[in-house]
Structure 1
Amino acid sequence: MRKKEDKNFLEFIPKRRNNVNWRNREDGNVTLIIERNKLAERVLAFMFNAPKTITLDLDRLGSRVWTLCDGEKSIATIGLIIEREFGDEAKPTYERLIKFIQLLNKNGLIDISSE
């Protein structure tokens, strides 16, 4: 069995976190609803009367990637689907896809597993 670090990133499987709420908008795109759960975020939100949730409207491409992060498809498979559905609009597909997946993961919106 290879270590996680040795595995090709395209083989990893992204999965939306259960604690991230989202909805489909009328235009077919996705809005993420992100709760401010960390203590510092809650304190600052209280002090500055900021909203308790943040909404993030994804574009067509981001929305499609989000819906494909189901815990079953690898990043490579998601890339193939995106290329088929969006064509040149998505290029450079894998470069953009990997950056977006990493951003979602870094912000705690998805998990990435090697299996």
Structure 2
Amino acid sequence: MGLKKEPPQLSREQAMQALPVRNPSLKWKVNDQENVVIILPRRDDLSGKALGWLFMVPQEKPVELDELGSSVWHNCDGESTVAEIVTLLCREHKLSRHEVEITLTEYLRTLGKRGMVGFMVPREVAEAAGVAHQEVIGLEDVATTREQLTAAQEQAAREAAETERILAELEEDDGGSSVADPDMTDEADAPSEADDDTDNGVHR
């Protein structure tokens, strides 16, 4: 298996124009503390498979983000630029712009290296970065164009909806099995002629 090709590096100005977008193939949820929990699959390369075989590593690993990380994750929706997210975090968390910019860019870089987010860029930025054919950087295994990204997002939404439907049906089945049939209850509670022929509570 060859080494994964590193995504092109963007300049500071280019990075500020980019629109971070979550990897649609990742599952995530919000817990009771309102923090984002991302479900990361086990590495599928040779090392990951070997570790799974030797040490019984689970197929998935939940990673909980803190309040600031959760806020960033929610805004990696492909609608806000990095610069706009910086402004939002400054306002929400009362932090200096310089501090937020440094922290956010490093955080997004880490998420990008792990394949958790990609970056939608204008055509001129892609051309300047040497990837004129790409509109999405960092999610090459999922999408390199906006059309491919949209298709992947729609597929993920359909799968999530199907999972919710199945879980809802299972809950309904569990709830129904715990409720007694009223007809059976009435029949059991109703007196019968056999009650007159009982001895010590046992039917003859």
Unmatched segments (≥5 aa) in structure 2: 1-8, 123-204
Distance change (3 Å), C-alpha of 1:60 and 1:31:
same
Structure 1 residue 71 corresponds to structure 2 residue 68: no
Q: How many residues align?
A: 112
CA distance in 2, matches of 1:42, 1:24: 29
> Is the alpha carbon distance of 1:26 and 1:38 closer, same or farther for their aligned partners in structure 2, counting shifts above 3 Å?
same
Q: Which has the higher strand share?
A: 1
Cα pair 1:29 1:60 within 8 Å, conserved: yes
TM-score for both structures, normalised by structure 1: 0.88
2:40 paired residue among 34, 39, 45: 34
TM-score, normalised to structure 2, is 0.51
Q: Larger relative CO (CA 8 A, sep 6+): 1 or 2? A: 1
Q: Give the alignment of 1:13-92 within 5 angstroms.
A: 13-40=19-46, 41-88=48-95, 92=99
Runs ≥4 residues deviating over 2 A: 4-8, 88-91
Alignment partner, residue 128 of structure 2: none
Structure of higher CA gyration radius: 2
Structure 1 gaps, min length 5: none
CA contact (8 A) 1:42 1:52 kept: no
Identity %: 26
Query: Deviation at 1:39?
Result: 2.7
- SS of the residue 2:94 aligns to: helix
TM-fit CA distance, 1:42: 2.6
RMSD: 2.0
